[in-house]
Structure 1
């Protein structure tokens, strides 16, 4: 049932697509805006989204009359705006803090962690790998995501303000490039 080679492949593919380390400047930016990142909540919700999408993703999208390409394009637009925020230093997304503390399922759990790229990758992995191995790969990624979310403040102090600013701009450009690639690929796939 469990295949180590499949688990490693799925884990590496998802780790590349999720790119939680590359999202560090975005996470630090968000923490500064809202005061605190709810690491446990963001990780659990990301996991629920990924596992749910593994089993019912295409059916949910079909229920709303949305194809995978359209879903990916919507995610690409959100990623594009986040990249613009990072490069220009302007706030596009307003942070909403509830009375109970910081709540930011959007944009951390979706689209940064369990975004259109991750969810569409999970759908495509299902065609090649056993479901149990995909779930193990998702769980391993969730552990890594939690570790990065929990240590974002520590990593920020190690990098310093100058290092963070440089990282923020670089990863802003990378996010723009990823969003344009997602947009372009799925726009063509939509026709």
Structure 2
């Protein structure tokens, strides 16, 4: 096993932090909590952690079964990340999903999946696997899961702290970071 590389851990943590965009999701989380009455922070965080770790280890095997390589998936992922970034920067909705019925499962669907650990996160994990050591990615996943838990637990306080304008500024800033990440992933996997 290779030693942990702090620079990789920081990079992976920041990339996942930007793609998960838990701070940008605060308005959605607030809305879900109001409609469902309660969000189970612990349950949502555990599901997010399990989904990300499982996909990190078996995502490429799933690709093998359907005949794709990680570089091709990383390029596709870079395009998905690009469009998510454009949504965040421009404030438009390119991806539309069905309205899930809110019940006791709101902490898992739609909160843990697909809001937090959705297609963008899964694609990013496989893309990261082509560039970083697995143990460094795992540390980044754990750090982000802890951050997700803290945000879910303190969402009312954060809403008051940032205000509507502050949350919107965060979304735009993370959108620009994601755009740069998408371009880097595309270039590194197309060897341009």
After TM superposition, the score normalised by the length of structure 2 is 0.70
Note closer, same or farther for the CA distance 1:83–1:20 as it changes in structure 2 (3 Å cut): closer
SS class of match (1:17): helix
- The answer as to 2:14 corresponding to 1:16 is yes
Match of 2:36 in 1: none
Which of 117, 122, 128 is the aligned partner of 2:124? Answer: 117
Aligned-residue CA RMSD in angstroms? 3.5
- The answer as to 2:37 corresponding to 1:35 is no
- The answer as to 2:147 corresponding to 1:144 is yes
Bigger shift: residues 93-102 or 174-183: 93-102
Match of 1:188 in 2: 191
Shift of 1:135: 5.2
Match of 2:68 in 1: 66
Per-residue CA deviations over 1:83-119 (Å, capped at 9, x if unaligned) read: 222222222222422242643312420245x432333
Judge conservation of contact 2:82–2:183 (CA < 8 Å) in 1. Answer: yes
Cα distance in 1, alignment partners of residues 141 and 12 from structure 2: 7
Per-residue CA deviations over 1:17-44 (Å, capped at 9, x if unaligned) read: 3125982443124336x62476445433
Query: How many pairs are equivalent?
Result: 180
Shift of 1:170: 2.0
- The answer as to 2:171 corresponding to 1:168 is yes
Structure 2 unpaired stretches of 5+: 34-38
Shift of 1:55: 3.4
After TM superposition, the score normalised by the length of structure 1 is 0.70
Per-residue CA deviations over 1:40-77 (Å, capped at 9, x if unaligned) read: 45433332233223433322211111211222223222
Note closer, same or farther for the CA distance 1:148–1:20 as it changes in structure 2 (3 Å cut): farther
